Amino acid sequence: MSIFSLFQFDFIVRAFEAALLLGVLAPLVGMFLVVRHYSLLADALAHVSLLGVALAIFFKIPIFIGALFTSILAALSIERLRRDGRVLGEAVIALFLSSSLALSIVIINLKEGINVNLISYLFGSLTTVTERDVFILLGLVMATLCFLLFYYRELFLLSLDEELATVSGVRVRRLSALFMILAACTVTASLQMVGVLLIGALMVVPVLTAMQFRLGFRLTLFLAVGFSLLSVVSGFFLAYYFDVASGGAIVIVAVLIFSLVTIFDHLRTAFFQRRA
Amino acid sequence: MSNTVNPIIECHDVWFCYGNAIALQDISFRISEGEYVGLVGGNGSGKTTLLKIILGLLSPSEGEVKLFGQKVSEFRDWDKIGYVPQNVFRGDLGFPATVREVIESGHLKANTFWCRFGTQGCLDVLEVARRSGVSHLLGKRIGELSGGERQRVFIARALVSAPRLLILDEPTAGIDSETEEQFYAFLNELHMSGLTIILVSHDLEVVRREVGTVLCLNRRLVCHGKPESLEQKEVLEALYGNKKNILHHEHTDHP
């Protein structure tokens, strides 16, 4: 079967569309997480979303609403705790990551049969993507692009130095809160496709790969989107042909690209140092 | 000491406490347009706290600060102020930003929707970079620069919005003496062009030599006047207490 014959199936087309949208969205948000030393935030929010899924099943409310509400609440709480200085930056993330997982486990124990639904969210599957999911992702990509276009300078300065951003007139608290809500929405919308355990990697690894080229901020951002799309498309086909979980395949490709770029960069540096 | 024409900063009876500890006590002064002010004091004298209050990063426990005639809490024209913090760019040296991008980040002035995409009212990045002596570094990453180069880049960033007031907090910490000399010559040039400057420094000799007015702080305002005040024993004792052994320069007799 040729690659293109795959697209005769509607669910494959939908999955491919979702993968492309995710490939654009994840590094756009991930870039600001990485430079603000928030790389693990996506993982924490994904675990909180899992708690949201468990709560939604437990209380019989729509899963997406449950996951979105809990992850936004957690994102804003993390930001508030970090800003107040009551808990150190990375520790806040660890606190939310482990406590939400603990609560999820308790809920699974309380209600039988819930674990089957939850496990599908751990690893994700692109093939279960519905048309509604694609539209939600499309809306989120558009919203993220508008947000970045409008607030790019402020977000850049906020990432560079928060104090400098405040003195330059950036409303730091409001902008940080908006960004955290965006990150929570991205994680929740990607959950079903990539899974709780891997969404963080998709948001972070392409950015780390792009950073190996030691370019400016804008170029690094574009390059990260490029590497992410490459990982997503390659992972998508590998997942189909080898019949493995799409999230795993996509992240393996992303990590492979990172390893190749890093090794090449080391060899190049060593070569030039020897010549010098 | 300073005149009342065009006051840029007005501090009225400012107090600030960290918990029960008084950090600033009854501080009042005015800084007028075109002044070159040195803010001096020992460690823990409240210099950085006072700067943070002036810049709206901290709220005074009591008293009021006005910037360009407006209360700091209501002040919105932040493009009128250029600020270079202490230990500028404490971030990760791998931060993916070029010098040009850092300078461009000073183009943050418009509050209206469409203006924010342009650079109206701002100076040209290339021109500011040339004036700041960093035009040859524009394509380099900020993490690749030396401390002195980085300092100049952040001054260029502060200048690109064409500010009327430049505030520098310990700008030459960790910079060699030759670079420091060039740096103060550059600041002097900026002051001559009409910019109001507040320089926070530990180095009394530099402050005495460079600035036109000094604000001496030791939780309270010890003195506000000509830099020659720094030669007075009583001022130095009020600034540093009896901890400091005051040595006089062999030729100039300056402390």
Kindly write down the DSSP assignment for every residue of B141-185, as one continuous string: BGGGS-HHHHHHHHHHHHHTT--SEEEEESTTTT--HHHHHHHHH
Task: Choose among A35, A169, A216: nearest Cβ to B98.
Answer: A216
Rounded Cα distance, A69 and A49, in Å: 8
pLDDT digits (tens, 9 = 90+) for A20-73: 999 999 999 999 999 988 888 888 998 898 889 888 888 888 888 899 999 999
pLDDT of residue B151: 83
User: Is A85 at the interface with chain B, CB within 8 A?
Assistant: no
ipTM over 0.95: no
Q: In which residue ranges of chain B is pLDDT below 70? A: 1-5, 88-91, 109-123, 174-175, 242-255
Nearest chain B residue to A170 by CA distance is B108
Rounded Cα distance, A211 and A164, in Å: 23
User: Is B18 at the interface with chain A, CB within 8 A?
Assistant: no
- Which B residues 139-158 touch A at CB under 8 Å? 141
Q: Which residues of A touch B76 (CB under 8 A)?
A: 169
With CB atoms and an 8 Å threshold, state whether A161 touches B85. yes
Buried b (16+ CB within 10 A) or exposed e, B68-80: beeebeebeebbb
Q: Which of A209, A222, A214, A213 is nearest to A251 (CA)?
A: A209
With CB atoms and an 8 Å threshold, state whether A214 touches B106. no
Rounded Cα distance, A262 and A268, in Å: 10
Say if residues B122 and B109 touch (Cβ distance below 8 Å).
yes
User: Is A206 at the interface with chain B, CB within 8 A?
Assistant: no
User: Is B6 at the interface with chain A, CB within 8 A?
Assistant: no
pLDDT of residue B98: 93
With CB atoms and an 8 Å threshold, state whether B105 touches A216. no
Give the Å distances, CA to CA, from B36 to B136, B182, B225.
29, 17, 12
Task: Choose among B56, B83, B107: nearest Cβ to A164.
Answer: B83
Task: Choose among A154, A169, A211: nearest Cβ to B96.
Answer: A211
Q: In which residue ranges of chain A is pLDDT below 50? A: none
Measured between CA atoms, how close is B108 to chain A, in angstroms? 7
Which of A160, A207, A212 best probes binding to B when mutated, by most B CB atoms within 10 angstroms?
Answer: A160
Which of A162, A167, A213 best probes binding to B when mutated, by most B CB atoms within 10 angstroms?
Answer: A167
Which residues, 6 or more positions from A20, have their beta carbon under 8 angstroms from its beta carbon? Answer: A229, A232, A233
- Which B residues 109-138 touch A at CB under 8 Å? 109, 116
Q: Which of A77, A83, A88, A94 is nearest to A41 (CA)?
A: A94
User: Is B92 at the interface with chain A, CB within 8 A?
Assistant: yes
Longest dimension (CA), chain A: 67
Residue B11 pairs with which residues in a beta bridge?
Answer: B29, B65
With CB atoms and an 8 Å threshold, state whether B55 touches A154. no
Q: Which residues of A touch B120 (CB under 8 A)?
A: none
pLDDT of residue B2: 46
With CB atoms and an 8 Å threshold, state whether A160 touches B102. yes
Buried b (16+ CB within 10 A) or exposed e, B195-210: bbbbbbbebbebbbeb
Torsion A98-A101-A103-A109 (CA) sign: negative
With CB atoms and an 8 Å threshold, state whether A160 touches B90. no
pLDDT of residue A145: 94
Task: Choose among A157, A167, A220: nearest Cβ to B105.
Answer: A157
pLDDT of residue A128: 80
Q: Which of A192, A196, A198, A181 is nearest to A247 (CA)?
A: A198
User: Is A223 at the interface with chain B, CB within 8 A?
Assistant: no
* E strand intervals along chain B: 7-18, 21-32, 36-40, 62-67, 70-71, 81-84, 165-169, 196-201, 213-218, 220-225
With CB atoms and an 8 Å threshold, state whether A216 touches B94. no
CB atoms within 10 A of CB A207: 28
With CB atoms and an 8 Å threshold, state whether A217 touches B85. no
Rounded Cα distance, B8 and B31, in Å: 6
Which of B103, B105, B155 best probes binding to A when mutated, by most A CB atoms within 10 angstroms?
Answer: B105
Measured between CA atoms, how close is A117 to chain B, in angstroms? 40
With CB atoms and an 8 Å threshold, state whether A161 touches B116. no
pLDDT of residue B28: 94
Measured between CA atoms, how close is B90 to chain A, in angstroms? 8
Angle between the N-to-C axes of helices A41-59 and A114-123, in degrees from 0 to 180, rounded to the nearest 10:
150
Q: Which of B207, B136, B138, B196 is nearest to B171 (CA)?
A: B207
Measured between CA atoms, how close is A49 to chain B, in angstroms? 30
Rounded Cα distance, B217 and B204, in Å: 13
Q: Which residues of B touch A163 (CB under 8 A)?
A: 57, 85
User: Is B178 at the interface with chain A, CB within 8 A?
Assistant: no
Q: Which tokens in the block code for residue A204? A: 């972070």
Which residues, 6 or more positions from B177, have their beta carbon under 8 angstroms from its beta carbon? Answer: none
